[in-house]
């Protein structure tokens, strides 16, 4: 990561200034699944999907034993129509059918291609050829063709998950293992990074190293790249980072994705599960996390979920239970029914179209699945404030200072001190005791003095209470907003 020389340590934390709604008033239902045969199917194990428009998407097929890695485009699709091109089915999908990126005289074959995403009509894939290229494609009326941009990550380790922010910056995970943490590599867009045009090795804007060993199978970013989520399948964790690609990122410890890492199947088999692919639903500010076993059949078909998560704290707000949907429609966990259910829960990828319909896949059913929501999807307000560490040495007591200026309009600074590493919550209430916002929520800080800027632009004039809590200790003070 770029070294940043600052007099203060900038940390960034979430707070909900207003939760518009966290109520899920409807149900998730399958609209269709792509038919699992040569007519409209992907033809082999389908690992990931990216949506370009409603019913227009690209599936990534990944069958390692056949050395068959390729992408299949769909346009105006339903269960039985929409596939662009002709593809083999079953064991006939071999090396001969691998997708090839070809521009001019340069060619790159798909090799262990694991990630796919799209932005502004361009499809990006993570390819693990010797140069570990990020390759780009685009969809025409009747096929998917090579786009002229490619970038080598120059890494010796596999690259996996990928996402793109609104500025076209690319976020890709570089794999770790049981003893080595994974990384996130962030590259600039086509205009600002020359390697996209030359095919050379790109220079990351930032490299983030995860805190635990494991494979990072999912990455999701918000619109401007200020909030970044990364999954670690083996650790059963989703990490949240805040910052920006220019100055760097800080791990936000107030985000805690707490779900079970094991599942007991009906035959008493213990199935190990964890997060795979993720996407951030922009506008609604909802994080979708696929959660399943790792390439496991049999008892694992009884699991398979997509969690909808509060991006501020990691709380699960709703669940698409893929396995239970399959059972409710087919009567079992391993029975495919055309257009109604994929039948074999193995959900490793999720994406959305412009109308907020959800697309997932079934690795072992060889399908892409479109989900619709019968109600109105909620929206969570996501606002970012900053917390700066003041370099004044180690304080000798737990203390909350009077805000300054006071009275204020519209922003003020709140300063607090902690004598040892502590989990901190800093909240603002109105005089009737109603919670206005969590400036900091259950985040761990090292010993030191910190200051927070509180922006009250959306609040009415009056007296407010701010409260600092650490364990069983708490301090409250008053502040006056005068507009």
Give the per-residue pLDDT at 388.
76
Cα dist from 281 to 172, 221, 228, 285, 351, whole Å: 18, 9, 13, 5, 8
Do 393 and 371 form a contact (C-beta atoms < 8 A)?
A: no
Residues pairing with 151 in the sheet: 134
Q: Model confidence over 230-251: pLDDT tens digits?
A: 999 999 999 998 888 988 887 8
pLDDT score of 21 more than 90: no
Give the per-residue pLDDT at 205.
96
Average pLDDT rounded to a whole number, residues 1-6: 34
Give the per-residue pLDDT at 22.
60
What pLDDT band is residue 437 in, cutting at 50, 70 and 90?
confident
Tell if the pTM clears 0.85, that is, is over it: no
Do 239 and 230 form a contact (C-beta atoms < 8 A)?
A: yes
Give the per-residue pLDDT at 4.
33
Strands 435-445 and 448-455, how do they pair?
Answer: unpaired
pLDDT score of 331 more than 60: yes
Percent of the chain with pLDDT over 70: 94
- Secondary structure E strands in 16-109: 28-33, 46-53, 56-63, 68-74, 100-103, 106-109
Percent of the chain with pLDDT over 90: 76
What pLDDT band is residue 385 in, cutting at 50, 70 and 90?
low
Could you tell me which residues come within 8 angstroms of residue 327 by beta carbon, excluding any fewer than 6 positions away?
Answer: 333
Give the per-residue pLDDT at 9.
35
What pLDDT band is residue 442 in, cutting at 50, 70 and 90?
confident
More confident residue, 193 or 96: 193
Q: Residue 434 carries which DSSP code? A: -
Give the per-residue pLDDT at 144.
96
pLDDT score of 2 more than 70: no
Give the per-residue pLDDT at 87.
84
pLDDT score of 470 more than 80: yes
Give the per-residue pLDDT at 386.
58
pLDDT score of 314 more than 60: yes
Could you tell me which residues come within 8 angstroms of residue 57 by beta carbon, excluding any fewer than 6 positions away?
Answer: 49, 50, 51, 73, 74, 77, 351, 353, 359, 368
Give the per-residue pLDDT at 12.
40
Q: Vertex 207, ends 350 and 224: CA angle to 5°?
A: 55
Give the per-residue pLDDT at 34.
96
pLDDT score of 13 more than 60: no
For 92, other C-beta atoms within 10 Å of its C-beta total 14
Quote the mean pLDDT of the chain: 91
pLDDT score of 19 more than 70: no
Average pLDDT rounded to a whole number, residues 395-407: 96
pLDDT score of 16 more than 60: no
Average pLDDT rounded to a whole number, residues 176-200: 97
Give the per-residue pLDDT at 360.
98
More confident residue, 113 or 455: 113
Q: Is 5 left (phi over 0), alpha (psi -120 to 50) or beta?
A: beta
What pLDDT band is residue 252 in, cutting at 50, 70 and 90?
confident
Task: Tell me which of 32-36, 281-285, 338-342 is least confident.
Answer: 338-342
Q: Model confidence over 53-87: pLDDT tens digits?
A: 999 999 999 888 878 899 999 999 999 999 999 88
More confident residue, 422 or 22: 422
pLDDT score of 90 more than 90: no
Average pLDDT rounded to a whole number, residues 114-120: 97
Q: Model confidence over 135-187: pLDDT tens digits?
A: 999 999 999 999 999 999 999 999 999 999 999 999 999 999 999 999 999 99
Give the per-residue pLDDT at 248.
85
Which domains can be identified in the chain, with CATH numbers?
A: 20-373 (2.120.10.30), 383-481 (2.60.40.1930)
Could you tell me which residues come within 8 angstroms of residue 260 by beta carbon, excluding any fewer than 6 positions away?
Answer: 273
What pLDDT band is residue 383 in, cutting at 50, 70 and 90?
low
SS3 107: strand
| Alpha carbon distance 404, 388 (integer Å) | 15
């Amino acid at each position: 990561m770029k070294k940043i020389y600052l007099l203060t340590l900038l940390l960034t934390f979430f707070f909900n200034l207003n939760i518009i709604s966290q109520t899920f008033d409807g149900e998730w239902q399958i609209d269709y699944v792509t038919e699992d045969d040569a007519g409209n199917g992907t033809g082999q194990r389908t690992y990931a999907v990216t949506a370009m428009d409603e019913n227009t998407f690209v599936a990534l097929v990944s069958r390692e034993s056949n050395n068959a890695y390729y992408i299949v485009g769909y346009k105006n699709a339903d269960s039985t129509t929409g596939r662009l091109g002709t593809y083999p089915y079953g064991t006939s999908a071999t090396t001969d059918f691998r997708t090839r990126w070809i521009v001019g005289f340069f060619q790159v074959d798909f090799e262990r291609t694991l990630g796919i995403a799209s932005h502004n009509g361009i499809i990006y894939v993570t390819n693990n050829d010797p140069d570990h290229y990020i390759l780009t494609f685009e969809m025409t009326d009747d096929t998917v063709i090579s786009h002229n941009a490619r970038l080598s990550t120059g890494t010796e380790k596999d690259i996996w998950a990928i996402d793109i922010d609104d500025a076209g910056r690319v976020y890709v995970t570089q794999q770790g293992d049981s003893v080595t943490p994974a990384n996130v590599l962030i590259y600039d867009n086509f205009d600002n990074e020359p390697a996209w045009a030359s095919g050379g090795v790109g220079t990351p804007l930032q490299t983030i190293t995860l805190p635990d060993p494991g494979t990072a199978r999912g990455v999701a970013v918000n619109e401007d790249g200020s909030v970044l989520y990364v999954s670690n399948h083996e650790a059963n964790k989703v990490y949240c980072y805040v910052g920006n690609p220019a100055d760097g990122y800080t791990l936000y410890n107030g985000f805690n994705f707490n779900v079970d890492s094991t599942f007991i199947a009906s035959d008493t088999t213990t199935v190990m599960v964890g997060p795979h692919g993720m996407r951030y639903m922009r506008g609604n500010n909802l994080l979708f996390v696929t959660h399943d076993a790792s390439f496991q059949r049999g008892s694992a078909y009884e699991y398979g979920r997509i969690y909808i998560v509060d991006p501020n704290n990691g709380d699960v707000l709703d669940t698409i239970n893929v396995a239970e949907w399959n059972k409710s429609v087919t009567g079992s966990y391993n029975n495919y029914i055309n257009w109604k259910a994929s039948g074999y829960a193995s959900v490793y990828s999720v994406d959305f179209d412009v109308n907020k319909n959800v697309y997932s896949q079934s690795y072992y059913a060889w399908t892409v699945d479109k989900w619709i929501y019968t109600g109105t999807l909620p929206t969570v307000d996501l606002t970012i404030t900053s917390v700066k560490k003041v370099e004044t040495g180690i304080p000798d007591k737990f203390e909350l200072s009077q805000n300054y200026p006071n009275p204020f309009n519209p922003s003020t600074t709140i300063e607090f001190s902690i004598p040892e590493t502590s989990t901190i919550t800093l909240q603002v209430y109105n005089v009737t005791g109603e919670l206005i916002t969590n400036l900091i929520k259950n985040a761990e800080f090292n010993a030191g003095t910190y200051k927070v800027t509180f922006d009250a632009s959306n609040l009415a004039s009056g007296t407010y209470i701010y409260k600092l809590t650490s364990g069983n200790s708490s301090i409250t003070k008053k502040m006056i907003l005068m507009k």
